[in-house]
Amino acid sequence: MSAILSADDLNDFISPGVACIKPVETLPKEELKEPNNAYEVTTEDKVPPPPDAPPAQISLTDCLACSGCVTSAEAVLVSLQSHSEVLNALDSTPSIDPQLLAAAARGEQQNGLGEGRIFIVSISPQTRASLAAAYGISEQQAGYMLEQLFSGPQGIRSGGAYKNGFTWVIDTNVAREACLVLGADEVKESLAQSSSNEQAQGDNPTHPKRPILTSACPGWICYAEKTHPHILPHLSRLKSPQALLGTLLKTSLSKRLNISPDRIWHLAVMPCFDKKLEASREELTDLAWQTDSQSQTKQGIRDVDCVITTKEILMLAESRGIALHDVPRTPLDPSTRVPFPDPTLDSFLFPSLDHPRHRNAQSASGPSGGYLYHILCTYQAQSPGSSIEIVRGRNSDVVDYTLKDANGGVILKTARYYGFRNIQNLVRRLKPARASRMPGAAARRLGGASRKPGMPAAASSASSAGLGTDYAYVEVMACPGGCTNGGAQLKPIDLVASSAPAAPATSNGGANADLGLDSAPTSGTATPIASSGTSTPQQQREWLARVDEAYFSASDDEGEGETVGTKSNGTAAKIAADNVNGISPAYIHSMLTHWSNTTSVPLDRLAYTTYRKVESDVGKDRDKGRETERVVELAGKIGGGW
Amino acid sequence: MAASPTAPPTSAGTLKLIAPLTPPSSTRTWLTVPHHSLPLVATATSDKTVRVYSLRSFTLHSTVSGGHKRSVRSCAWKPGTKGESVLATGSFDASAGIWRRWDMDMGMARERDLTGGVDEGDEEEDEGWRFSVILDGHESEIKSVAWSASGQFLATCSRDKSVWIWEEMEDDNFETIAVLQEHEADVKCVAWHPEEELLASSSYDDTIRLYREDIDDWTGIAVLSGHDSTVWSIDFEPAKPALSGDSQADASDRARWIEAREASGPRLVSGSDDRTLRIWRRRPKQKQPAPPTGQGRIPSIIRTHSIEEDWYEEARLPVAHERAIYSVAWSKRTGRIVSTGGDGRIVVYEERWSEPKGNEEKTDGLNPEGTEASDLPVARTTWSVVASIEMAHDVFEVNHVTFARRFDSGRTSDDEEIIISTGDDGQVKVWTVEI
């Protein structure tokens, strides 16, 4: 523990974690550590820190991705997405006149659409559930409230430079249903392929490796790309509902109205900070689907321009001087509705109220979209007499779902893994054994493949156990409790402000609070505490139960299934014909085909995406000397030595 | 509240060197832990190995090597094993390792019946140590590892600010059951309660945090704030309190004290960069005999008792160090505490019954705020320095100190206690307390 840092020791501090801005922001105040700490500051004396020390930045605190590895570039991308960015966008240009849009929808070509942008917002069901729990209203009422806020006369339209608002408010559930159908297709195709051609697996990039892992959770994707590149071949290639909806809106509108995608401004409201990171991915811009070659050189235009979170809804309302609890919880006047310019997509994006599609998942499908459950239902529909066996694991966030035939034979083995700790166990099982780390053990390993306690243990590193490979599919989400418990959902502490009417003085609307960073009053010195200084674990559980109840209530309200009234187009008949888990694959496929045909872009480029290993640039491509200074500085400060 | 510079404590006792463990490491040694039943200690060494020494002969018994790419910072014997020894290692390479070796291979079988002094014999090729599992997950240097009393759980902590809990499954498989990210900085030390499934961690953020499983989530249940700087080391009191010293106090008062101590359970000692050693004590919950653990509990709405616990600073030990305290240990046999640190000093403390009334001892129990006087036992205790030694490892810093049972031929009783110190000079030294 002395101050002698050898060259070897310096290496101790070159790791991805150091690259993160978090250590910068947690540097202790200098005066605290000076006098009697000579044993660890001497090296700093020898290597004075660079005078232009990087400024501390505020980054995400609630997300998994920032457990030491959000890069500063990402932090900037994220900080650009805030409720004030929404207001800036609205104030930068007027909305395109709805009359002109309606005319375009009817196919009456006039002289263009004039100036301005089309503003569209898509809202996640988890956001509605969080607000419903906060205000003690139903999830549907929360949905109406948000429609009124974004689009209604008493909402944000009541202020701002152009008195403009959002032309369309879309439920991301519609895109989720397309994702569920495509996700089930992907699993079927991948499993069929892997069983018919075992050795080709992994060589073929068009299908993920078994077990296929859900890729809709951006925190999980970010973590996997940075920390566990070995699992990337397992990831579902399907876009998330947020991303798919973004692509759908931008492609179809820009083609149909013949406008540039940057004249469509798409906001998503999500339960999760990491969705901002997802929206910033260059894979999810028009570069992925534009067909004209000239666009290839410029910077891409995002499919989702901005993501704000449930927490930021409160700030958005406050910034416009709107009391959210005073916003009507009733539907907008249907006569003011602007039809989407494509009738097929119009009925897809805006299903009628009594349509079976207008609902969240059933509780069996979980709080995160229900990917796993829909796959099981798809297989179950093909296997009469089969049943789903549900076995809870070590904790409530690990659940095995096994589809068994009438004789108890296993048809499909799948699981749900939520939360960082459980993800650890999953990725470890999927990790190739690292024999190189154990020179001595490697030799023995060959002889002792099947060992029992008492046999010379092979270097399993808990990896070759193969538990993970039993699964065909695993629904992975970074947050314990799934998406209803997203990092940016309202917490009990947030309610203190929101439930007190006419208390705008509690505003956290300043620029630094844009990310919704812990707007709670810091809880000071009190012992005992609750984790993250907000509320006790019991309170958190009770709260989450209320949010889940609101989330699932949307389906309970309507009972099971038989409400097949629909507003147009005769889609009801199709739904009744091949209903799987309340969704008609044929209908979804026909919509997707229509989308691909009208935009002249293959579905493969519209609905799927890619992942890449992200490597830290610390210790690489940089001035070595400077890097050493930085490392020594951090070594002295962040860890307090050894 | 930094203590003023301190002269070497002028206590009567000293520490007498029995022997160094030979050969020493040519590189820095971090920590030495005694085996729970065999006369062995394991020393974590910065040459990426663990050196296992015999406490009978004070010589190197075997070396655990080949698994880590960087310094082994910490290691711990799994408690309660029979027939096979299990060692967990935590390394600066961000991984933890689980190693196994048959006790037959330890050369202990023939030795057990002898009184000592026997060489462990042929220096086998260390074939016996098997690297059975790597635990990956931490993002940066692991600083400390600790097994729970039952051996079911292993805790690790790291510079990445997190504390992980691993559960041993069947067939050499470990699962991550908790990732606790409550500290705001480097986590230096983890320690388990000797009787309960209660974990403590200490950090560069100057706090100590306690965790417990609630339903099936491990969660923070208390923060112990008070230290003004890094808390390098923590250790729990043994399950049975052991007080020494003459009984000046009234017998019934002493009985009440012991009763109160048993109600709060084992205490915790912490050693810090602020040069203080503090004793922390749990305030017993009203009419709630055992804190709830495990599953099958009724959902929380019906529960009236919080899982949170209230721990307060009960006492401070006399300030006897001039620089950071790196290590503190609480004896399971004598109830003594030993500390060491950057000043190269090793200091032994003892808890005694206070003089009845009158004497206002600085080191006496602090009356915790909000505690009614009637809650406090009448008899009080005082911590005092009973022995110390300067420059235990010459000019080098001493990284770790612990108690162990004495096995060598010089021992006078089965239960004789020794102190083992581990230094930056690569030396591990064995001491006895002479008062």
Query: Strand locations in A70-211, DSSP E?
Result: 118-123, 168-171
Q: H/E element holding A474?
A: strand A473-477
Instruction: Summarize pLDDT for A189-207 with one digit per residue, the tens.
Output: 998 887 665 544 444 557 8
pLDDT recorded at residue B275 = 96
Does A28 fall in a domain? yes
More confident call, B367 vs B72: B72
User: B131 and A459 in contact by Cβ < 8 A?
Assistant: yes
Residues B273, B324 contacting (CB under 8 angstroms): yes
Predicted structure pTM score: 0.75
Q: Residue A507: which residues within 8 A CB-CB, separation 6 or more? A: A315, A318, A319
pLDDT recorded at residue A612 = 86
pLDDT-derived band at A32, boundaries 50, 70, 90: very low
Q: Residue A170: which residues within 8 A CB-CB, separation 6 or more? A: A120, A121, A122, A123, A245, A249, A349, A350
Distance CA A390, CA A401 (A): 5
pLDDT recorded at residue B68 = 95
Q: Residue A614: which residues within 8 A CB-CB, separation 6 or more? A: A225, A226
Q: H/E element holding B45?
A: strand B40-45
Kindly report the backbone phi and psi dihedral angles of residue A543, in degrees, each rounded to the nearest multiple of 5, phi listed first.
-65, -45
Residues A175, A122 contacting (CB under 8 angstroms): yes
Model confidence at B238: pLDDT above 80: yes
pLDDT recorded at residue A52 = 45
Give which of B284, B279, B287, B289 is closest to B380, Cα–Cα. Answer: B279
% residues pLDDT > 70 (chain A): 63
Over residues A342-368, mean pLDDT: 77
User: B133 and A434 in contact by Cβ < 8 A?
Assistant: no
Mutate which: B4, B131, B221, vs A, most A CBs within 10 A: B131
A396, A457, A529: residue with CB nearest B172:
A457
Lowest mean pLDDT, pick from A407-421, A470-484, B116-130 = B116-130
Residue A533 DSSP class: G
Mutate which: B98, B171, B176, B180, vs A, most A CBs within 10 A: B176
% residues pLDDT > 90 (chain B): 68
Does A178 fall in a domain? no
Residue B126 DSSP class: S
**B288: which 2 tokens?**
């709630």
Tell me the count of A-B CB pairs closer than 8 A.
Answer: 181
Instruction: Summarize pLDDT for A139-159 with one digit per residue, the tens.
Output: 999 999 999 999 999 999 998
Over residues A29-53, mean pLDDT: 39
> Domain residues for A38?
1-76+626-642
A439 part of contact set with chain B, CB < 8 Å: yes
pLDDT recorded at residue A361 = 58
What are the structural domain ranges in chain B?
14-287+303-434
**A218: which 2 tokens?**
């951006």
CA distances from residue B294 to A395, A537, B297, B307 in whole angstroms, order as listed: 11, 15, 7, 12
pLDDT-derived band at A282, boundaries 50, 70, 90: confident
- Give me the residues of B, 3-62, that contact A with CB < 8 A: none
pLDDT recorded at residue A613 = 84
Mutate which: B144, B172, B276, B395, vs A, most A CBs within 10 A: B172
Contacts of A1 in chain B (CB under 8 A): 324, 326, 342, 397, 399, 424
Highest mean pLDDT among A224-233, A528-537, B52-61: B52-61
Does A23 fall in a domain? yes
More confident call, B296 vs B314: B314
% residues pLDDT > 90 (chain A): 38
Total domains in chain A come to: 1
Does A245 fall in a domain? no
**B258: which 2 tokens?**
């012991």
- Give me the residues of B, 130-189, that contact A with CB < 8 A: 130-137, 139-141, 143, 159-162, 164, 167, 170-179, 181-182, 184-186, 188
Above 0.85 for ipTM, yes or no? no
Model confidence at A172: pLDDT above 80: yes
Lowest mean pLDDT, pick from A111-120, A331-340, B142-151 = A111-120
Does A196 fall in a domain? no
Does A502 fall in a domain? no
Model confidence at B398: pLDDT above 70: yes
Helix (H, G, I), strand (E, B) or coil at B274: coil
Is the peptide bond between B23 and the residue preceding it cis, with omega within 30 degrees of 0? yes
pLDDT-derived band at A102, boundaries 50, 70, 90: confident
**B131: which 2 tokens?**
């690297």
Lowest mean pLDDT, pick from A16-20, A333-337, B8-12, B312-316 = A16-20
Highest mean pLDDT among A293-297, A501-505, B37-41: B37-41
| Residues, chain B | 435
pLDDT-derived band at A47, boundaries 50, 70, 90: very low
Give which of B75, B79, B76, B74 is closest to B36, Cα–Cα. Answer: B79
Distance, in angstroms, between A236 CA and closest chain B CA?
Answer: 23
Contacts of A465 in chain B (CB under 8 A): 171, 173
Residue B241 DSSP class: -
Model confidence at A508: pLDDT above 80: no
Instruction: Summarize pLDDT for A362-412 with one digit per residue, the tens.
Output: 777 889 989 999 999 999 999 999 999 999 988 889 999 999 999 999 999
Lowest mean pLDDT, pick from A195-204, A349-358, B360-369, B415-424 = B360-369
User: B160 and A68 in contact by Cβ < 8 A?
Assistant: yes
Over residues A321-335, mean pLDDT: 90
Does A61 fall in a domain? yes
Over residues B171-198, mean pLDDT: 93
User: B215 and A541 in contact by Cβ < 8 A?
Assistant: yes
Model confidence at B201: pLDDT above 70: yes
**What's the alpha-carbon Rg for chain B, to the nearest Å?**
21
Q: Residue A582: which residues within 8 A CB-CB, separation 6 or more? A: A356, A357, A359, A561
User: B133 and A460 in contact by Cβ < 8 A?
Assistant: yes
- Give me the residues of B, 266-285, that contact A with CB < 8 A: 273, 275
Lowest mean pLDDT, pick from A233-237, A448-452, B287-291, B416-420 = A448-452
B136, B178, B204: residue with CB nearest A639:
B204
Superfamily for B14-287+303-434?
YVTN repeat-like/Quinoprotein amine dehydrogenase (2.130.10.10)
Model confidence at A11: pLDDT above 70: no
- DSSP output for B2-34: PPPP-PPP--SEEEEEEEE-BSPPSS-EEEEEE
- DSSP output for A171-206: ETHHHHHHHHHHHHHHHHHHHHHHHH-GGGTTT-TT
